[in-house]
Structure formats: structure tokens, C-alpha cells
Amino acid sequence: MTAGEATARVRALRLDDALESRWATPALLLALTAISLFIRTRELAAGFWIDEGISVGIAHHHLTAIPHLLRQDGSPPLYYMLLGVWIRLFGDGVQATHVLSLLCALACIPLAYLLGRRVFDRLTGWCCALLAAFNPFLTYYGQETRMYALVAMLSLVATLAYVEGVLRGKRRWLPVLSLSLAAMVYSHNWSLFFCVGLAAATAIAARDRFRELLYAGAGTFVLYIPWIPTILFQAKHTGAPWATSPSVHDLIVAPGAVLPDDGALAAFVLVGGVALWRALRQRRSEERRVIVTLALAGAIAICIAWALSFATPEWTARYFAALVAPLLLIVSRGIVRADRLGVLALVVVIFFWIAPQKDNKENAGQIAAQIAPAMHPGELVISTQPEQVPVFRYYLGPGYRYATPIGLVPDPRIFDWRDAVTRLRDAQPKATLDGLLRTVEPGEQFVVVSPVFRSYQAWRAKWTKLVWEHSGSFRTLLAHDSRVRLVRHAWTNEVVVHENYFKLMQAFVYERVR
């Protein structure tokens, strides 16, 4: 050990002693959670976007019907069933449903501390807790009615159980690992990549502990068996056709999705990389085994997701919630190992992380508020972007008929993604519009909701390109149709547009001419 390392070790022990008080840890964790609560409630009332409308719509179905219903959606059922219970207790308001994710994001703070403390030491635990408290990924998805904060929380439990139960051979942790991994894969499908990553990394870097992993993996597999027929059906018929194939750059900077930007990732790599390298040179140390195994697991999971996204495009930053725990733990250890430079990097990054985040979702709620006062029960609402129907159904309510370029929607609380690209490609805009107009009596009004296309780059995937084409066709047909006249064009204020929203909606109110 060099003189510098000895000095750093003495300094760390003194700080560790100061934090050893019986009440210091719970008091500091409570204070940190309170600060994070303030940061993570500044956009708690932000309006729903597409996926949040779908979440609430699915959750409103009977709990026992949700698993079968999700054959249309492509997601596993755990989050939707939890949300279903939640909205029956606390309502389905925007803030009420966001609070479920907020609680998961806040729970990540003590769990992150516990992970770092048990795996390495108290300082690493506090570093993990700080990162979890201010991480913008958790802040953003802690205020969204989706499953990503839940998956991140479960990943912390699973990672701790993996280190304790597999790498350290404490078999009493194996049931915890099985249950937490099962909960992850029942929350989001990309958690399967994390499971494969753990298995492959154990086979490479911890072969002597592979038996423990098999025990835990068998438990997870048994719990997952009931869902296998459904996910096989989903893989064949649903997917994410709105996504595009990732680039090599996307692969390299993938960890930045969780940290959650390239700048923070670069800072932590530069500062903590050298310090971690020193630890990795100690070939037989437990620290080396933990870091190498978790790093391999994360890298393998990312590579699998990247490779599969060329066959079926599904690459998007929010899906990396399953990797929150290993990334936080490795980065925290690098910061602690880097001593003063690590602390400096942590302070600088947190300073930028606490900046307020903009509500960069959608304006569906504002558009609905503009058109709702003039609408009457039973009127037709046509969304030229089909998956927008559930969010407009949420804001406008159940008293209307909903349709898309594919036709009338039997259940507007969910979008049916089964072979959706084929169905939309085969749909004939004029024939569909004529059929819909036949359901509108002369003198009645109907609404057409359509995206605002500001950049073609956002609409170049298979699905979004079709939405672009069908929206244009509907606009052109209606503009030259003598059976209708435009009554109103609902639009969001330009200032709001440029400051907040990246995907905008507009509404056209038409009247069927007598």
C-alpha cells in the first residue's frame, strides 16, 4: 500500500467512525429522502403521455383479466396489477398514480445504501444513496405512471441478493434472489436480459458459485413458467415497431441512460476508472470478483438488447431500469476509491442533476381541455395516431366513440399492438373514413386528433412512418370532402410548445354537413 493510499484509508476510517452512531444512519437517510422528495415532486402533476394513458386504461380492467389482456400490449402484468389495486384505493388522478412510482423511486435510496454498505462498506453505501437520491433517471420515472421506478427498486434487491446468495454463498439469500428476479421479469421484459447477463457473468467470472445461481435461477424459472406462453405470443405478434435500430454510439453510451447522460458517465469513468483498475489488479480479492461479475452482467445484458434490437427494434433508454443497481454500485465504488477526486466528481455531477426537469411529455391533456366543453355524448373521436386513444379516453372520458385509421376501437382503454404494423399498412384511408362518417349524423360534430409533425426524424420507424402517412391522408381527404366543414382547430400556445413538449397533438373539430 502506498503512502497516499494509506492516508486515504485513514481518512475513510475516520469518516466511517463518525457515521457509526446509532441514530446517524437513519437520520441522514431520512434527511436525504426528504430532499429527494422535494426534487421528485416538482413535476408530479405533469400530464399523461401515450404510455401513461395505456397504463391507467389497462389497470382499470378487472385484475384477473389483466394478464390475458396484455397479449394485446406486449408487457408483463405485475405493474399493471399493482396499479389496478392502487387506483382502487387512491383514485386514477395524474398525481395519485404518479405517487406509486414516486414511492418506488424514494425506496431506492435506503435500498441503495444497504446495497453499498453490505457489499463493500459504509462510505460506498452513502455514495450509492446519494446517487439514488439525485439521479435524474429515477427523478423522471418517479413521476411517471409506468413501471420503470419499480424495476429499478427491484434491481437493487436482486443485486444485493445475488452478491450475498451467489458470490458469497449465503444460501438463505437465494429465495430472495429468485423472488426479486421473478418480480423484475413480471414487471418488464428487458429484465430477462439482466437475468441472462447474471448467468453468463457467473459462468465466466465466478464458476465456483454457479450451483447457487442454478438454484436461484430454477426458482425464478418455476415462477415464470405461467407467463411463458404469453410472452412467446407477444414476441410473435406485438413488439415496439415505433422504435428504431440503435447505433454503435447508442451501445457505447448505454450506461449513460441510467446515470443518466453522457457527461455524468464520462466524469465517473475518468475519475473512478483508474481507482477501480487498482482494485481489479488484486486477482483474488472479493471486491474484484463483485465488480467484474456485475460489470460483465450489465455489459452482456446491454449487448443482448442491442443485438436483438436489430431484429425487432425495441431500443429505448428507459428500458435500462433493470441495470440501475449494478451501475450505481460500480460507480459508487469507483468514487470511493478515487478519494478526493471522486468526491469532487460526485459533487459536480449532483449539482447539475438537481436542476429542474422540464415537463417534456405531451399536450394531450391541454388539447382535451380545449375541445371537451363543445363535445356531446356519443360523438366520434378519431385519433390518427392509434396508440393515442387511451390517453384521450382518459382525459375526455368514456362517453364517446373512438376510432383510428384502422377503424372503430372496441376497447379504448388499451391499444391492440397485435400485428399493428400490418393492420395499419393494409388500412385504406378513404374506405375507413367513409365508414366512420356513415356513423355521424348530419349536423353532428366529430373530432380528429393528430400529431404535430415538426421533424421527420422522429417519425422514421416502421410504425411512426405509417402514422405520418395516414395522418396526412386523413387531413387531405377531410379538406376536400364536401360532407364536412372545419369548425375549430385546437392548438397549444407556441411558448408552451417550444419550452416543454417534444411530441405535440392538435385537434380538428368537424361538423357533418346537413
pLDDT range class, residue 315, cuts 50, 70, 90: confident
346 and 420 in a common domain: no
**154, burial (CB in 10 Å: exposed 0-12, middle 13-18, buried 19+):** buried
221 and 106 in a common domain: yes
Mean pLDDT of 387-391: 96
199 and 238 in a common domain: yes
218 and 153 in a common domain: yes
- What pLDDT score was predicted for residue 480? 92
- What pLDDT score was predicted for residue 404? 96
**429 is in which domain, residue-wise?**
364-512
Whether 468 has a pLDDT exceeding 90, the answer reads yes
Q: How many CB atoms lie within 10 A of CB 37?
A: 15
Choosing from 334, 353, 372, the residue where a domain stops is 353
Average pLDDT of the chain?
A: 88
- What pLDDT score was predicted for residue 495? 42
221 and 197 in a common domain: yes
pLDDT tens-digit series, residues 18-37: 566 667 788 899 999 999 99
- What pLDDT score was predicted for residue 304? 93
- What pLDDT score was predicted for residue 500? 45
Residue 9 inside a domain? The answer is: no
182 and 117 in a common domain: yes
- What pLDDT score was predicted for residue 18? 56
**Total-model pTM:** 0.91
User: Residue 91 has which C-alpha cell?
Assistant: 383514485
Exposure pattern of 446-479 as b/e (b: 16+ CB <10 Å)?
bbbbbbeeeeeeebebbbbbbbbbbbebbeebbe
Mean pLDDT of 278-306: 85
Mean pLDDT of 504-509: 91
323 and 421 in a common domain: no
Residue 17 inside a domain? The answer is: no
- What is the dihedral angle through the alpha carbons of 119, 121, 122, 127, rounded to the nearest 10 degrees? -70
Choosing from 353, 374, 393, the residue where a domain stops is 353
Residue 464 inside a domain? The answer is: yes
- Of the two residues 374 and 131, the one the predictor is more confident about is 131
pLDDT range class, residue 360, cuts 50, 70, 90: low
Whether 353 has a pLDDT exceeding 80, the answer reads yes
pLDDT tens-digit series, residues 154-187: 999 999 999 999 999 999 999 999 999 999 999 9
- What is the dihedral angle through the alpha carbons of 314, 317, 323, 325, rounded to the nearest 10 degrees? -160
SS3 143: coil
User: Residue 275 has which C-alpha cell?
Assistant: 481507482
- What pLDDT score was predicted for residue 348? 83
Mean pLDDT of 493-499: 48
Q: What's the number of domains the chain is made of?
A: 2
**421, burial (CB in 10 Å: exposed 0-12, middle 13-18, buried 19+):** middle
- What pLDDT score was predicted for residue 341? 81
- Highest mean pLDDT among 324-338, 346-360, 395-409 belongs to 395-409
Choosing from 331, 353, 375, the residue where a domain stops is 353
Residue 22 inside a domain? The answer is: no
SS3 418: coil
CA-nearest of 489, 507, 500 to 367 is 507
pLDDT tens-digit series, residues 71-99: 999 899 999 999 999 999 999 999 999 99
Residue 265 inside a domain? The answer is: yes
CA atoms within 13 A on the CB side of 144: 22
- Of the two residues 281 and 461, the one the predictor is more confident about is 461
346 and 399 in a common domain: no
383 and 339 in a common domain: no
* Percent of the chain whose predicted confidence (pLDDT) is above 90: 64
Whether 499 has a pLDDT exceeding 50, the answer reads no
290 and 435 in a common domain: no
- Of the two residues 245 and 72, the one the predictor is more confident about is 72
Mean pLDDT of 474-499: 78
280 and 223 in a common domain: yes
pLDDT range class, residue 286, cuts 50, 70, 90: confident
CATH for 445: 3.40.50
Whether 260 has a pLDDT exceeding 90, the answer reads no
Residue 18 inside a domain? The answer is: no
**21, burial (CB in 10 Å: exposed 0-12, middle 13-18, buried 19+):** exposed
Whether 497 has a pLDDT exceeding 50, the answer reads no
187 and 307 in a common domain: yes
- Find out whether the peptide bond into 373 is cis, omega within 30 degrees of 0: no
Q: Compute the distance between CA of residue 348 and CA of residue 345 in angstroms, rounded to an integer.
A: 5
Residue with cell 455489459: 299
Residue 88 inside a domain? The answer is: yes
Mean pLDDT of 420-434: 94
Residue 409 inside a domain? The answer is: yes
